[in-house]
Amino acid sequence: MTQDFTYDGIVVGAGHAGIEASLALARTGMSTLVLSVTLDNIGWLACNPSIGGTAKGHLVREIDALGGEMGVGADKCLTSLRMLNASKGPAVQSLRAQIDKYKYHAYMKSVLENEKNLTLRQGEAKRLIVENGEVVGVETVLGLTYYAKKVVVCSGVYLGSEIIVGDVVLPQGPAGFPRATYFTQSLLDLGIEIRRFKTGTPARVHKDSVALDKLDVQYGEEGLYSFSALSKKVKATKEICYLGYTNERTHDVIRKNLHLAPKYSGLIKGAGPRYCPSIEDKIVKFPDKPRHSFFLEPEGDGTKEMYVQGISTGLPASVQLEMYRTIEGFENAHIMRDAYAIEYDCINSLNLLPTLEYKGIKGLYFAGQVNGTSGYEEAAAQGLVAGINASLAIRGEKPLILRRDNSYIGVMIDDLVTIGTDEPYRMMTSRAEYRLCLRQDNADVRLTEEGYRVGLASKKRLTLLMKKKKNLARAEELLNVQAPRSELVSLFEELGSPLPLSGATLASLIKRPEITPALLSRHWNILSFLTPFELAEFFTDVRYAGYLDRQEKTRRETARVEEMPLSPDTDYMQMHGLRIEAREKLNKVKPLSIGQASRIPGVTPADINVLIIKTKH
């Protein structure tokens, strides 16, 4: 063993999970090695050229609040930005950015290359080295052996991956990158349960071959806040997206060739994503729907490639061309890259602790799509948590376990390690019970102090948060201030509404849905010390105060039982009073708290009562 080949932590993979895991380790003082099958896939956006979206935007802002990199990179590399669900309540509003995928890759590669304590190395991991139930290193296919105290596996969709187009099966990773051929066997040899999942991607077409005037233009928005608290101003380019629709001719081509689609021919065995189906699945599941929408998105400023979001497929290449050319505007479309399905190996996330450490092997963590999730944002969030916990374990400090009531990341990880998933898991706002409290605008309030505690969020981030909290507290002290009559007159004249006879306080004005932050600021500048984004957050807190108070009360009522600890060493088969099914499920998951136990499918309230009684005694 040489010093050059010994590290505090090793991260296998340099995708979105691997980036956050390795930076979390390195930035908290740990010497870190990052192994990737190729250095050309670092931070690669192999599917859609975007970051954020419904619930995913929340994850990115939480990653940033904890001190991660994805939000910073997204702000630097975006081509346009939109707020999804802007017409709905603040709990479900989410940022989504179109990203220059080539610039994002270059940015993230540069960040890793220039990070102190981090070594970037091209090399395919072949085998985990485990001694006495503890991971101690990784061997590569070229026979090099690296040693470390902790290993974080962030292998994405590269394990035994196969690209499938029609009846053609290619042993490749996404976008034609090399796959990881041998690592799955190492996991199997260690007794780690392996599953087979599937996802896919649409074709990329040449921009000049599409009649863009036949599609609806989708412009980005100005004046939106950034993903990162560190970004002073977000500057988008003039790249725009387009909205189009399939038609009955498109559907006829698909139906006629459905037997050639790998899923329906039986070639694909893996479970696919429920919430991102292929166009074949859409036609089969919704036979009466006359059309399906799609978006045509730029892959970057310096390329003519456009991504056809919403029409992923595994149909043969010749059928793909026929199918795409039935769409209005695509009559002469030129495909630059064919759509494909991809199958890959992943693990059963039920075998992980909430820290993302593997239950059977000390010091071994898993993060990202290898845990059965889908999406860049879900992967990055897990990588961040795994990297932080690996670092904390090395330092002998208390682990970071995020909860369902303080973050979307906590919801996702709890779902994965408590309920598990039989298909690629996608984060959605509906999964969060406390989503009104877990808005994207208050991610820093919820998590930055925790990120600072674990040593990752910078002093600058904390200072920005303290300033914001001070401003919001100052604004709250003004809620009962009466508005001057002159300001009220001009404000309600603009609204075209009658003037309140008894005057109005700041709180009563904010609670009127027709009064926007901009309108109030034009007529009464009492809150001029707030930034536009702080002002919007303050409006939300005041308007939804009643709902927030009720949700907080519910959270406090459940917290007592939620946080009652359970030992991971408990043998539930020996615990009398529990039903057999409950004993089996509890023994499989090994919950760390009563709250986690209560969410295990098959464990009833009666079983929970038994656990509470046993715990108290």
Beta-sheet pairing, 168-170 with 194-206: unpaired
pLDDT given for residue 194 in this prediction: 97
d(CA 512, CA 439): 21
Is residue 105 over pLDDT 70?
A: yes
Is residue 542 over pLDDT 90?
A: yes
325 CB burial (10 A radius; 0-12, 13-18, 19+): middle
Sign of the alpha-carbon dihedral angle for 63, 68, 69, 72: positive
The CATH number of residue 569's host domain is 1.10.150.570
pLDDT (tens digit per residue) in 75-95: 999 999 999 998 898 999 999
First CA to last CA distance, the chain? 49
Same domain, 293 and 390: no
Percent of the chain whose pLDDT exceeds 70:
99
Is residue 616 over pLDDT 90?
A: no
Residue type, 58: H
Residue from 205, 117, 155 nearest 41 by CA: 155
Across 529-552, average pLDDT: 94
Cβ 374 vs Cβ 8: under 8 Å: no
118-121's contacts with Cβ under 8 Å and 24+ in sequence apart are 118/22, 118/23, 118/25, 118/26, 118/32, 118/33, 118/34, 119/7, 119/31, 119/32, 119/33, 119/34, 120/14, 120/34, 120/36, 120/39, 120/42, 121/33, 121/34, 121/35, 121/36
Burial 550-564 (b: 16+ CB within 10 A, else e): ebeeebeebeebbee
Given 316, 343, 370, the domain boundary residue is: 343
d(CA 387, CA 360): 18
Residue from 263, 38, 11, 317 nearest 158 by CA: 38
Residue from 571, 580, 574 nearest 604 by CA: 580
d(CA 420, CA 585): 12
pLDDT (tens digit per residue) in 187-235: 999 999 999 999 999 999 999 999 999 999 999 998 888 999 999 777 7
pLDDT given for residue 553 in this prediction: 87
Same domain, 448 and 487: no
The HSE-up count of residue 449 (CA atoms within 13 Å, CB side) is 9
Residue from 450, 444, 362, 461 nearest 401 by CA: 450
Boundaries of domain holding 151: 3-195+344-453
Same domain, 412 and 498: no
Same domain, 162 and 106: yes
pLDDT band at 171 (very low <50, low <70, confident <90, very high): very high
Beta-sheet pairing, 335-337 with 194-206: antiparallel
Given 492, 514, 548, the domain boundary residue is: 548
Least confident stretch, 47-61, 265-279, 463-477, 488-502 = 265-279
Same domain, 520 and 386: no
d(CA 342, CA 46): 11
Residue 378 belongs to a domain:
yes
pLDDT (tens digit per residue) in 424-451: 999 999 999 999 999 999 999 999 999 9
Question: For 469, phi and psi rounded to 5 degrees?
Answer: -65, -35
pLDDT band at 401 (very low <50, low <70, confident <90, very high): very high
Across 584-604, average pLDDT: 91
269, 271, 277, 282: CA torsion to nearest 10 = 60
Across 4-13, average pLDDT: 94
CA distances from 46 to 49, 174, 313, 332 (A): 8, 6, 15, 25
DSSP state for residue 3 in the 8-state scheme: G
pLDDT (tens digit per residue) in 285-295: 999 999 999 99
What is the H or E stretch that residue 243 is in? strand 241-245
d(CA 304, CA 239): 11
Cβ 272 vs Cβ 344: under 8 Å: no
Residue 467 belongs to a domain:
no
Residue 463 belongs to a domain:
no
Residue 466 belongs to a domain:
no
Residue 255 belongs to a domain:
yes
pLDDT band at 3 (very low <50, low <70, confident <90, very high): low
473 CB burial (10 A radius; 0-12, 13-18, 19+): exposed
pLDDT given for residue 472 in this prediction: 97
Is residue 1 over pLDDT 70?
A: no
The CATH number of residue 302's host domain is 2.40.30.260
Same domain, 9 and 108: yes
Residue 438 belongs to a domain:
yes
pLDDT band at 405 (very low <50, low <70, confident <90, very high): very high
DSSP 3-state assignment of 164?
strand
Residue by residue, DSSP assigns 296-319 as: EEES-TT--EEEEEEEE--S-HHH
Is residue 167 over pLDDT 90?
A: yes
Across 246-259, average pLDDT: 97
Is residue 273 over pLDDT 90?
A: no
Average pLDDT of the chain is 94
pLDDT given for residue 617 in this prediction: 66
Same domain, 504 and 567: no
Domain count, the chain: 4
What is the H or E stretch that residue 74 is in? helix 70-77
Given 320, 343, 366, the domain boundary residue is: 343
Q: Which residues contact 187 (CB under 8 A, 6 or more apart)?
A: 128, 194, 345, 347
Residue 324 belongs to a domain:
yes
356, 8, 192, 425: CA torsion to nearest 10 = 30
Beta-sheet pairing, 305-312 with 194-206: antiparallel
Same domain, 180 and 37: yes
Residue 556 belongs to a domain:
no
Same domain, 187 and 213: no
Same domain, 174 and 44: yes
**What are the start-end ranges of the H helices in 396-528?**
408-414, 443-453, 459-476, 485-495, 506-510, 517-523
Is residue 133 over pLDDT 80?
A: yes
Same domain, 174 and 211: no
pLDDT (tens digit per residue) in 304-313: 999 999 999 9
- Kindly give the interhelix angle for 56-66 and 70-77, rounded to the nearest 10 degrees: 120
The CATH number of residue 131's host domain is 3.50.50.60
Which residues face 322 on adjacent strands?
Answer: none
Is residue 2 over pLDDT 60?
A: no
Same domain, 442 and 388: yes
pLDDT given for residue 563 in this prediction: 80
